[in-house]
Chain A
Amino acid sequence: MSTTADTAATVRRPTRPRRRRIKPGRLALYAGILVITAIMVLPFIWMLSASLKLDREVFAFPIQWIPEAPRWQNFVDIWQMIPLATFVYNTAKITVIVTLLQLFTSSFAAYAFAKLDFPYRNVLFLGYIATIAVPWHVYMLPQFLMMREFGLNNTHMALIFLQAFTAFGVFLMRQFYMSIPDELCEAARIDGMSEYQIWWRIMLPLSKPALSTLCIFTFVATWNDFLGPMIYLTETELKTIQIGLRMFISEYSTEYGLIMAASVVSLIPVLIVFLSLQRFFVEGIASTGLKG
Chain B
Amino acid sequence: MSSADTDLEVAVKQAQRPLLTRAQRKRRASLVAYSFIAPNFLGFVIFTLGPICAAFALAFMHWDGNNPIEWAGLDNLFKLFEDRAFKAALWNTIVYTVFSVPLTLAAALGVAVLLNGKIRGRNFFRTAMFFPYVASLVAVAVVWNMLFNPAMGPVNMILYTLGVDPSNLPGWAADRNYAMATVILFGVWKDLGYFMVIYLAGLQGIPRELYEAADIDGANSWQKFWRITVPQLAPTTFFVTVIMTIQSFKVFDQIFMITQGGPGTSTLVLVYHIYNESFVSWDLGYASMVAMVLFLIVLTVTVIQFRFTRETD
Contacts and interface: CB of A to CB of B under 8 A. Distances in A.
Interface in A73-119: 104-106, 108-109, 111-113, 116-119
B119 A29 contact: yes
A271 B135 CA distance: 8
Interface string B193-204: 110011011000
A25 interface: yes
B253 A227 contact: yes
A126 B240 CA distance: 23
Contact of A291 (B51, B147, B194): B194
A40 B136 contact: no
For B51, B129, B198, B271, the residue with the greatest tally of chain A CB atoms inside 10 Å of its CB is B51
Contacts of A226: 136-138, 253
Contacts of B207: none
A50 interface: yes
For A47, A220, A285, the residue with the greatest tally of chain B CB atoms inside 10 Å of its CB is A285
B131 interface: yes
B34 interface: yes
Contacts, number: 249
A119 B32 CA distance: 12
B295 A138 contact: yes
Given A170-B40, A285-B197, A267 B49 contact: no
A111 B132 CA distance: 34
| Range of interface residues on B (Cβ < 8 Å) | 35 or more
B115 to A, nearest CB: 7
A149 B278 CA distance: 16
Interface string B9-48: 0100010000000000000011011101101111110111
Contact of B36 (A108, A117, A164): A108
A51 B167 CA distance: 31
Contact of B47 (A43, A127, A134, A162): A162
A267 B135 contact: yes
A218 to B, nearest CB: 13
Interface of A: 25, 29-30, 32-33, 36-37, 39-41, 43-44, 46-47, 50, 58-59, 61-63, 104-106, 108-109, 111-113, 116-119, 121, 124, 127-128, 131, 133-135, 137-146, 161-162, 164-167, 169-170, 192, 195, 199, 220, 223-224, 226-227, 231, 241-242, 245-246, 249, 256, 259-260, 263-264, 266-267, 270-271, 274-275, 278, 281-282, 285-287, 289-291
